[in-house]
C-alpha cells in the first residue's frame, strides 16, 4: 500500500488530488492548517487527517512524527501555496510589490517546501519507491515569461512566479542530492481555485491530472524535471 501526504489538501487541487489517489488505492493523509476543515475534508474522502501548517516548524515536525508512528511515507506532494492578491483580485506588480509581500509568499511557497522536505525526507528514504511532487506553476518558467510570443509573458505579478521559480530550483537541487527518489515539479495549469480568486480557466479535475500522474511514477521514472500534462516544460 502506498502512503501519500498532500499539503494544503482540504480544498482545490489538493483535495481533488487526494480524491484521485485514494480512489487509486493510496492511503492518503490530508494535510491542512485548519484542523476543522482538514478533518471534514478527510472524512469526505475516506482519508486520514494530519494538522500541518507549512509555515510552522512545530506543526510540521509533529505531522512527521504522527505519520512515522502510523507506518511511514512513500509519496510527498508539496501542494500548499498562496498568491498575494489585492481587494480587487489583482496582483502586486513591479511598481507596487513590497518586500513584505515577497516575504509572505516565500514563507509558504518556498520556505514551507524546504521545511516539509527536511521533516519527511527521513521517512521517504525508508520507502522502496519514494516520490516527491512539488506543485509549481507555468509562471515559473523563465523561458516562457521572457518570450513575447508566449501567453505567460503578459502575467505582471512578481511574488508568485518568483516563488515558483525558486521551487523549481529546489526540485533540481534536491533531485541531485537524493538520486534514489523521484523528485519533480509540475504545472497544473490555470485552474479555478481560491488561490486566484476562482478566475482560472480549468477545472480542478483537469489541473490535478499531472499531479496525480507524477505521484504514481515508479523508480524508473524521471527526476529533477518540470512537467505539465503535455510533457516537459522549459525552465
The pLDDT tens digits of the residues spanning 150-171 come to: 999 999 999 999 999 999 999 9
Buried b (16+ CB within 10 A) or exposed e, 91-103: bbeeeebeeebbe
Instruction: Read off the C-alpha cell for 202.
Output: 480549468
| Cα distance between residue 11 and residue 4, in whole Å | 16
How far is residue 111's CA from residue 120's CA, in Å, rounded to a whole number?
14
pLDDT value, residue 190: 74
pLDDT at 87: 80
Asked if the model's pLDDT at residue 229 lies above 70, the reply is yes
Confidence of residue 85 (pLDDT cuts 50, 70, 90): confident
pTM for this model (two decimals): 0.95
- Confidence at residue 89, expressed as pLDDT on a 0 to 100 scale: 84
Active site amino acids: 160, 164
pLDDT, tens digit (0-9, with 9 covering 90-100), for 88-98: 888 999 999 99
For residue 3, what are the β-bridge partners? 27
- Overall average pLDDT of the 64-87 stretch: 95
34-43, 192-201, 209-218, range with the lowest pLDDT: 192-201
What pLDDT, in 10s, does the model give residues 104-142?
Answer: 999 999 999 999 999 999 999 999 999 999 999 999 999
Summarize the confidence of residues 209-224 as an average pLDDT.
98
Nearest by Cα to 217 from 75, 73, 114, 113: 75
> Sorting pLDDT into bands at 50, 70 and 90, what band is 80?
very high
Amino acid at each position: 500500500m502506498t502512503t501519500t501526504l498532500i499539503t494544503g489538501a482540504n480544498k482545490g487541487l489538493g483535495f481533488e488530488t487526494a480524491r484521485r489517489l485514494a480512489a487509486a488505492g493510496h492511503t492518503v493523509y490530508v494535510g491542512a492548517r485548519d484542523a476543522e476543515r482538514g478533518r471534514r475534508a478527510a472524512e469526505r474522502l475516506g482519508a486520514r487527517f494530519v494538522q500541518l501548517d507549512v509555515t510552522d516548524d512545530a506543526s510540521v515536525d509533529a505531522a512527521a512524527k504522527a505519520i512515522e508512528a502510523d507506518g511511514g511515507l512513500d509519496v510527498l506532494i508539496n501542494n500548499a501555496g498562496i498568491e498575494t492578491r489585492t481587494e480587487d483580485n489583482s496582483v502586486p506588480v513591479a511598481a507596487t510589490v513590497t518586500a513584505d509581500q515577497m516575504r509572505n509568499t516565500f514563507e509558504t511557497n518556498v520556505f514551507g517546501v524546504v521545511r516539509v522536505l527536511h521533516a519527511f525526507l527521513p521517512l521517504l528514504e525508508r520507502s522502496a519507491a519514494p516520490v516527491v511532487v512539488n506543485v509549481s506553476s507555468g509562471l515559473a518558467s523563465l523561458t516562457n515569461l521572457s518570450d513575447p510570443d508566449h501567453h505567460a509573458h503578459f502575467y505582471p505579478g512578481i511574488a508568485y512566479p518568483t516563488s515558483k521559480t525558486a521551487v523549481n530550483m529546489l526540485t533540481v537541487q534536491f533531485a541531485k542530492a537524493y538520486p534514489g527518489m523521484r523528485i519533480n515539479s509540475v504545472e497544473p495549469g490555470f485552474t479555478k481555485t481560491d488561490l486566484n480568486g476562482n478566475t482560472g480557466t480549468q477545472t480542478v479535475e483537469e489541473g490535478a491530472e499531472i499531479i496525480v500522474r507524477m505521484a504514481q511514477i515508479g523508480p524508473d521514472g524521471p527526476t529533477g524535471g518540470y512537467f505539465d500534462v503535455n510533457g516537459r516544460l522549459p525552465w
